[in-house]
Structure 1
Amino acid sequence: MEPSLRNAMREGLADAVGFVVGALAGWWLGAQFGFDFVRSAGYDAKAMVGLVFIALGCGAGRWLARRWILRR
């Protein structure tokens, strides 16, 4: 396999795994603080704060995974 393709596949996989793991971590953290977006009945303020936790987790997870890949 060509090195540039291998690097692109590693970066893509790291982005995907970091995104999903970060989203799950954000969801868990939000639920621990009482802001559970997934189990919320409607779109109230608590659910929106839970969604922000998930979105921040997605971004942080992707950022950490990308940093980890670039160090290797």
Structure 2
Amino acid sequence: MPALLVKILSDVVGFVGGALAGYWLARAAGIDVLRDLHSNASVLGIAAIGLGGGIGLAAARRWRQARDAG
């Protein structure tokens, strides 16, 4: 598989997976981001989604570096 395709796909899977994990973590905490669009709790839910996406992206990049090194 071409290196650029691996880079793109791993970034997408990491970010989307992390964002979904953040969304479900917010839902487990009782925050529905899609329903409460203008509340303070919604801001926390959006932050959880963004943080989850960033963590997932970082994990995908670490995986890719480990894959390329070994």
Normalization by structure 2: what TM-score?
0.86
Secondary structure in structure 1 of the residue aligned to 2:34: coil
Deviation (angstroms), 1:65: 0.9
Does residue 39 (structure 1) correspond to residue 39 (structure 2)? The answer is: no
- Identity across the alignment (%): 42
* 1:13 Cα deviation from its structure 2 partner: 0.5
2:9 maps to 1:13: yes
Q: CA RMSD in A?
A: 1.3
How many residues of Structure 1 are paired with residues of Structure 2 in the alignment?
67
Could you tell me which runs of 5 or more consecutive residues in structure 1 were left unpaired when the two chains were aligned. none
Q: Which runs of 4+ in 1 moved over 6 A?
A: none
Shift, 1:39, TM fit: 2.9
CA distance in structure 1 between the partners assigned to 2:32 and 2:45 by the alignment: 5
In the other structure, the counterpart of 2:18 is: 22
1:64 is matched with 59
Q: Which runs of 5+ in 2 are unaligned?
A: none
